[in-house]
Amino acid sequence: MRRFITSLPGKVISQLVVLALLLPSITLILASKGYAQVAVQPTLAVVEFRNAKTPGTGFGKLAADAVTSEISKLDQYDVLPSEYVHKAIEVLGITSPPEGHVNLFRVAQEVRASYLVSGEISDYRIISDGVGRHAVVALSVVVYDVASETALNGASVTAQSTVRANSVDEATLVNDAITTGAGLAIHQIHDRSLPAATVLNTQTQTALINQGSRAGFQQGQHVIVTRGRQQVATAMIADVEPDSSTIQLEVSNRGIQPGDKVHVVFELPPQVLIDSLGVTHRPAPHRSVSNNSSIISALLVVGLVVALLSNGNSNATGAAASVTAEAELFEGGTGLPGVRVSWYPNAFFKGNGQRSQWQIWRSDVQGGPILAADGQATSIDDTTTAPPAFSAYTAPLNGTACVGESGRNSYPTAISPGRPYTYQVELLYALSPLDLPGSSTGGSTSTSSTSTSSTSTSSTSTSGTSTSSTSSTSSTSSTSSTSSTSSTSGTSTSSTSGTSTSSTSTSGANNTCYFISSKTSSGYATPIFAPSLSAPQVRLGSIAYQFSSVVQAYAITVQYVLQFSTDPSFPSGSTYTAGNLTSTSTSNTLTISANVWPASTESTSAPSYIQSAGTLYWRVGAKNIVDSPGPIPDGTTRARYIFSTPGTIIKPNTPPSGAHVRPGRHKA
């Protein structure tokens, strides 16, 4: 045997035996690695966008293709090819873009997508810049969860193309702006997207999930719970820890169980429109004139709503009916940037009687509130200087059990100019134990019962001393024991009765129960410095007015507006908006062209009071286009921009017609 092993055939056979023994383990390792490399990503489909401006053109398909390209760069989804989605629409026999909610999700189910993206081109304009022209496009994008048919996330943006020569056709400019807008929208959606959480364990109305504040989950957020391709519940995040959260069920269709997925639902921003100058604005609510009977009917409806709310809405979870965040400049518009956070208290909130403290959260700090205000306050300023530390509190979320509140760390951090923020406001409030569900509204509660019982009383008395008496009562319906002490003088009494009445009473406690409301969110607000102006070379005709960018370390899209007035205070009746610019540039040499004093061969849209003025004041305003509602309105024009300090220009003298011009001089 030894000779065989040491021989060449023996060595070959030995190696083959060893390989055969190791082969199962090697196969298992390779299979595991191969499985890990084939990660299954959720499928996502993008349908053609609706073109509200010019239906029938190819802009909607271009927008869908641009969004598809941007999402593919994230490497988080298996994005279905546009040809595959279009083929499914043809098979279903519906129009593209799909009309209506039902058709939209028929497409999603046909292509077996987990997420569906649609959108709309709400408006676009071609703006002349003097040296050329560019397009400004308003674009909205919505991401749907197919299982629940719920809009999870979205963005509403405006974007502009690069300035091109006047010979470039409009379609090219609009296509350029749409591509830019698609990138901006997906960037915004991605920035506030949160990972899906998994249900770990459940109770009757609550469940524990495996994501917390480290992943961006916040108290008060609304979520949907899905199982496979079906929605099973909606819920709200009631309590947040660093790596886990507790959700409170709102609507349960099938109940929840460990392994279900939890997705946070974000509020969709409103669409924007563009005016003839390229300035964006939110569409105003429609108002119509009606007769007296309509007014009376409306008043009756309002009265009914108020009556219903006074009974039912006292259980609302949000103490702030609305929260507004607006960029501002301190010291009368000349100081450092900041944000004014204001809120409108919910008049029907049950904790209005004892508002203890408003707590303000900011989107860049997940661990706790960054500001606190007195319970009677309705606004607070967030500045570039970190506020002093304060006492923050946590308590049950609109609970029913009196467990008190507990202190927690505060996070008073300063804002960074140029960075967009959103805010949330919650209220720490107090209730009497008697105001909790299940408690009586009176000062005490009592119950009594009468039963036939056997009662014995024994007492021992001593003259001039106190007598202690103990009584025990037994009954088929209740058992009670009472110990009492009284003062007697030399007497002793004992009695037995075949019938007794027993009663119990509970007096109202004097302690206070603290609770916390759910958070109410604001739109974006971006604290920015005012633009700096450069003195122009004044002449008749079109002039490029130069100013500095307000974009700093954070990539934002800023809209600038150029205004002229005959008064340095820029009153609304004497202010002319000459042009605007939307830019992401950080350059200090941005320009907007305007013609306020036209040459003899030129025309201008400037009003006559501007053209005839000998001295004009000019300024440039700036705002991040995603801010909603925008900076605090200007005191006179009510325009929502951060305005520069005004500059002054003086109209140049013009020589009389036919006057001789000396050599070396030129006509202005």
Model pLDDT for residues 57-109, shown as the tens digit of each residue? 889 999 999 999 999 988 888 999 989 999 999 999 998 898 888 888 899 98
pLDDT value for 278 = 58
- The mean predicted confidence, pLDDT, of the chain is 78
- The band of 301, judged by pLDDT with boundaries at 50, 70 and 90, is low
pLDDT value for 27 = 64
- H or E segment to which residue 192 belongs: helix 170-192
pLDDT value for 483 = 38
- The band of 507, judged by pLDDT with boundaries at 50, 70 and 90, is very low
Average pLDDT value for residue range 11-30: 73
Reading the block at residue 474, the tokens are 């037994």
CA nearest 194: which of 104, 254, 263? 263
Q: Say which range, 134-148, 192-206, 266-280, 554-568, has the weakest mean pLDDT.
A: 266-280
Q: Tell me the C-alpha distance between 263 and 30, whole Å.
A: 34
pLDDT value for 179 = 92
pLDDT value for 54 = 84
CA nearest 618: which of 640, 590, 596? 596
pLDDT value for 456 = 39
Residue 450 to residues 44, 128, 498, 501, 504: CA-CA distances in angstroms?
71, 93, 12, 5, 12
The winner for highest mean pLDDT among 46-60, 129-143, 504-518, 531-545 is: 531-545
Strand, coil or helix: 614: coil
How far is CA 359 from its chain centroid? 16
Average pLDDT value for residue range 210-221: 88
- The band of 621, judged by pLDDT with boundaries at 50, 70 and 90, is very high
- The band of 327, judged by pLDDT with boundaries at 50, 70 and 90, is very high
CB 380 within 8 A of CB 420: no
**Which residue did the predictor score with more confidence, 82 or 18?**
82
pLDDT value for 373 = 93
Please confirm whether the linkage preceding 97 is cis (ω < 30° from 0).
Answer: yes
pLDDT in tens, 353-389: 788 899 999 998 888 899 999 999 999 999 999 888 8
- The band of 312, judged by pLDDT with boundaries at 50, 70 and 90, is very low
Which residue has 């920015």 as its token pair?
A: 528
Q: Say which range, 37-46, 213-222, 223-232, 613-622, has the weakest mean pLDDT.
A: 37-46
Strand, coil or helix: 519: coil
Amino acid in position 492: S
CB 85 within 8 A of CB 103: no
* Structural domains present in the chain: 2-36 (no CATH), 43-193 (3.40.50.10610), 197-265 (2.40.10.340), 317-437+512-521 (2.60.40), 543-650 (no CATH)
Q: Tell me the C-alpha distance between 180 and 162, whole Å.
A: 10
CA nearest 594: which of 609, 610, 582, 570? 610
CA nearest 457: which of 475, 471, 436, 439? 471
**Does the structure show a pLDDT above 80 at 658?**
no
Q: Tell me the C-alpha distance between 52 and 273, whole Å.
A: 11
pLDDT value for 476 = 36
Length of the chain: 668
**Does the structure show a pLDDT above 80 at 266?**
yes
**Does the structure show a pLDDT above 60 at 277?**
no
Average pLDDT value for residue range 127-149: 84
Residue 573 to residues 275, 566, 576, 604: CA-CA distances in angstroms?
19, 10, 9, 19
pLDDT value for 412 = 79
CA nearest 368: which of 402, 308, 330, 410? 410
pLDDT value for 76 = 86
Q: What percent of the chain has pLDDT over 90?
A: 33
**Does the structure show a pLDDT above 60 at 218?**
yes
Reading the block at residue 578, the tokens are 């000459």
Average pLDDT value for residue range 535-540: 91
**Does the structure show a pLDDT above 50 at 505?**
no
Is residue 59 exposed (0-12), middle (13-18) or buried (19+ Cβ within 10 Å)? buried
Average pLDDT value for residue range 236-265: 88
pLDDT value for 299 = 52
